[in-house]
Structure 1
Amino acid sequence: MKITLKQGIQVVVSLIVAVGIFWFLYKDISFEELSEAVAELSWYWLAASILVALVGFWLRAWRWKLLIDASAETKVKTSRTFWALMIGYLANLIVPRAGEVARCGVLKRTDGLDMGKLVGTVIVERSIDLLMMLICIFLAFVIERNLFISIFEELVATDDISDSLMSILPIVIGAIFVIALVIFFVFKKYKENRLVKKVRNFGKDLYKGMLSIKDVENQFGFWMSSIGVWLSYYFTMYAVALGIPSTASLTANAILMVMVMGSIGMTAPVQGGIGTFHALVAFILIKYDLSEDQGKIFAAIIHGSQVLTIIAVGLLALGIFFRISTNKKPKTS
């Protein structure tokens, strides 16, 4: 995947922002303090968290396979979607959000699948993940209502948000209407144009990929794997918490709040959620009577272990991808 100058600048800027936030958070924590925390860490629980995370990655790959099989004429192996997924995660550590396109590109190269349909299935996946995250936020709100409300009031000025939305809403609606008219005019007037045909065909494949959810044969497996993916996030964090003396006494409710805040932090357009994940996780742990340093150290350990896992497995996946590509005989059975 080629990166343009504009994209390169965006990558550098996002990385600078991520590193800046990370430095600001950890500038007052000494290396000795961090070393002591690592020395007290239970490697048994850390290994358990990594194992749970890998199970979650495999479930996500299997769920993606179900969507692909429903939208494509040929079947794809779960192992292929797993390696593509891990390469995508690896790409996200370099270029934010590039992993979604990268993993589709991997399967296009190894299995000859349509890029449009693959992107469509990824959009479905991300939509389901958004739904699951909203469910987790709602669950956190029900369980920890008072804490959730106090945090929301602390972070957000609701009156200002309401006024801002009312002022920009007409502009947004007008802009959407104008853009829709321009697109309609271009596609109608230049429908025989080669580029327009390519865009239209890609759009059709994209639409088919997005509709793949209704054609999934194993609906039960699809939805259970979606739940399983988020359970893996939860138990990954819980295992690390049990392995650190300062967080071992955290309740199940507290871990849910940590997962919700960490998930929100991971949505920021920075490489691997660096900085934003740490800030939000540390922030919520302070609400559970941990010190600021203890919260930051927990965030660093959970995030660092996951990043190292992604790098290790992602590089392995990259090697397997190059080997398959070199053979030039895609396996689609």
Structure 2
Amino acid sequence: MNKGIKKILFTVLPIALGVFLIWYFLSKLTDADKEAILNSFKSANYWWVFLSLFLGILSHLSRAYRWKFMIEPLGYKPKYSNLVFTVLIAYLVNLTIPRAGEFARASAIKKYEGIPFDNALGTIVSERIADVLMLLTIVGIAFFVQADFLFNSGLINPKQSIISLTIAGVIGLIAIALIRKSAHPFSIKIKTFLLGLLDGIKSILKMKNKWAFIFHTIFIWLMYVLMFYVVTFALPETSNLPFGAIIVGFVVGGLSMAITNGGLGVYPIFVASAFILYGVEENPAKAFGWIMWTAQTLMVLVFGGLSFLLLPLINKEK
């Protein structure tokens, strides 16, 4: 397939899927459902939503500060404001083109701080490795905290899970053995990717400010979880959810971001589905998902847009 067509499909399909899911979601709502969800929006306590947005801003500021620890060993001393604005721009770009934000971030910091694109991108990749490890940790916590619920509710069959994990493990070991010996271009790409991940982890562990980096990584993800958690108090129906439900909702919401740009159309459905499992009525659960997604998206649009405008203004000489 032509590379140009691939790029177009890579950009258009997630957005199209998100738009379709929004249409499908709305088409399945009865008039009573629409009225109930609208009433939830009207009656929500938006002070909790504003607190969530504040926590989100703190996470972005921390992410920018953490990035500094990756860049300084390269011999550069970037302005903190430039780091903040480029981080916010990356989030905005990711809403339109999946994963393009990382390239936009590296390009912007190259333009305004003179950091070579490849070096900047390498630091971003290392950051993402740390984020993936944190996400996997939270997924693990969610599973262990809610293992009894998942097993007792029948959502997960213990025997089938053990068999599936065993089969997956065997297949994984065979695949690793084959990839290590193979000279096929695809195998080489996988090996290069995995070695890159390993190098990224090593670079984090060897950096001068590794403990500060780890602190900010934990802080960022703590803010993410708290962003989600505090919004549950905005609606009476979600204000008494147990910790396990919060973590599960957060995890499935986060995973939805990988399906469409910014979780367009998917995030509210995934989060609502998780909350419904814990006894939240369907319409309030859907309302929560849409309130959470709308707030996050507006934050990215507003602050990302402002960053696009302010970044060149504060760097007029460059």
Alignment TM class, shorter chain as reference: 0.7 to 0.9
Stretch of structure 1 that moved more, 75-84 or 145-154: 145-154
Is the CA contact (8 Å cut-off) linking 1:91 and 1:102 kept in structure 2?
yes
Identity over aligned residues, as a percent? 26
Residue number in structure 2 paired with 1:283: 273
Residue number in structure 2 paired with 1:232: 223
Q: Structure 1, residues 260-297: CA drift from partner, whole Å, max 9, x if none?
A: 221222232x2112233223211110111012222221
The SS at the match of 1:15 is helix
**Whole-angstrom CA distance in 1 between matches of 2:78 and 2:155:** 44
Residue number in structure 2 paired with 1:188: none
Unpaired stretches in structure 1, ≥5 consecutive residues: 185-204
Unpaired stretches in structure 2, ≥5 consecutive residues: 190-195
Residue number in structure 1 paired with 2:52: 49
Letter in 2 for 1:76: P
Using the size of structure 2 for normalisation, the TM-score is 0.84
Q: Structure 1, residues 109-161: CA drift from partner, whole Å, max 9, x if none?
A: 1111011111111111111111111111222222221124457627x965568
Is the CA contact (8 Å cut-off) linking 2:86 and 2:108 kept in structure 1?
yes
Matched, 1:259 2:250: yes
Residue number in structure 1 paired with 2:204: 213
Letter in 1 for 2:277: K
Is the CA contact (8 Å cut-off) linking 1:117 and 1:210 kept in structure 2?
no
Is the CA contact (8 Å cut-off) linking 1:88 and 1:103 kept in structure 2?
yes
The SS at the match of 1:133 is helix
**Whole-angstrom CA distance in 1 between matches of 2:288 and 2:154:** 20
Residue number in structure 2 paired with 1:321: 311
Equivalent residue in structure 2 for 1:121, among 117, 123, 142: 123
Closer, same or farther: CA 25–253 of 1 in aligned 2, 3 Å: same
Residue number in structure 2 paired with 1:202: none
Stretch of structure 1 that moved more, 238-247 or 6-15: 6-15
The residue correspondences of 1:168-317 to structure 2 (distance < 5 A) are 174=178, 177-179=182-184, 212-268=203-259, 270-317=260-307
**Aligned residues, how many?**
303
Stretch of structure 1 that moved more, 76-85 or 214-223: 214-223
Is the CA contact (8 Å cut-off) linking 1:87 and 1:314 kept in structure 2?
yes
Closer, same or farther: CA 166–213 of 1 in aligned 2, 3 Å: closer
**Whole-angstrom CA distance in 2 between matches of 1:295 and 1:181:** 43
Is the CA contact (8 Å cut-off) linking 2:129 and 2:197 kept in structure 1?
no
Give 1:322 deviation, angstroms. Answer: 3.2
Closer, same or farther: CA 123–151 of 1 in aligned 2, 3 Å: farther
Stretch of structure 1 that moved more, 302-311 or 217-226: 217-226
Residue number in structure 2 paired with 1:200: none
Q: Structure 1, residues 168-220: CA drift from partner, whole Å, max 9, x if none?
A: 97678656722369979xxxxxxxxxxxxxxxxxxxx9998775424533332
